[in-house]
Each structure stands twice: as structure tokens, then as C-alpha cells.
Structure 1
């Protein structure tokens, strides 16, 4: 989703109101981001989610990437090992 938005707009568009909500100056352009405007394509898929804890603005694609990464780590940690060695049966002591 992020690649599509960036491909259509040249840079990732961000919502100036969301940027202001996290304490960043709205309206600034950089090499990677530009404020969304009337001509922005697929603006709802741009950076529109304010994350005040880290003073960043995220996109729905960022949320999906993060969720997929967490799910992958959780599944990798829960995976059971299949190479268990079965212990040999106990041998009864020989009686004379």
C-alpha cells in the first residue's frame, strides 16, 4: 500500500492536521514526505494516523507492516520443534 501511494504521488503524502497533532510543523516538505492536498492521489492511504508517543505520523500500510511483523515473531516463538529425540526404552536389569 505504501509503495502504491508513493508511486502515484512521488513522495508519501501526510495529513498536516495529524502532523500538527504530534507536535510537528505542518506543511513542511522533505525528500520523502509532502503535505496532502486537493490533488493528492489515495490520500487516505498516506500518513494520516497520529502517534503522539513517538511524535510520528503513520499510514495504514505502516500499521499492517507492524502487525505482520509482530504476528511473524509470535508465530516463530510458538513453533514447536519437530526434531525431538525419543528416549530409548528402559532395559530391565538381567536377573541371574
Structure 2
């Protein structure tokens, strides 16, 4: 017989609380040659900014894995390829030297 307000449950263990590890932007990531050209920190310590894609993404739960994941996205890879082509063109074309007008 059960007491009023008390539910009958089989012998199940109580649910465990899942502990999440919260990460923050690590300035050491900026020294990595794979990331230093496009990665920047954001005002929020749990976010990172891609200067190439002009977006911010969360690093709170994945840390550096989120940075690696973003670097493998199709949009980022296309912009990275275009950036390399732009660098090649700027090296090929010399800037004009302006002469003083008379």
C-alpha cells in the first residue's frame, strides 16, 4: 500500500547529474600557425571569432575542437582558398606609385 503523494517506482537508481566542462578561449590558440591568420578572441570568453567568415562561434563546450570544426566547414574553406588567391594577386600586381600633382 502506498502513501498518498508518493509514487511507486521500481528499484531504479537515482539519475546522476551530468557534469559539463566549460571551456574558455585560450590565447595559446593564436600562436598556432593553422589558426593565427583568422582566429581572434571575442568579448565573451566562451566565444571565438573568425575574421575570415566574420562570425563568432561557441567554444564553451568543445574548446579547441570547436575551432578545428569551424576550420573544416565549407564556407571557411572556400573563403580561405579565395584569400590565398587574393594574396597571390597582390604579390603579382605592384601598387602604383603616385607622383605629386603639379
Which TM-score bucket, shorter chain as reference? under 0.3
- TM norm structure 2: 0.27
Q: TM-score, normalised by structure 1?
A: 0.28
Structure showing the higher helix proportion among its residues = 1
Between the two structures, name the one with larger relative contact order (CA 8 Å, sep ≥ 6).
1
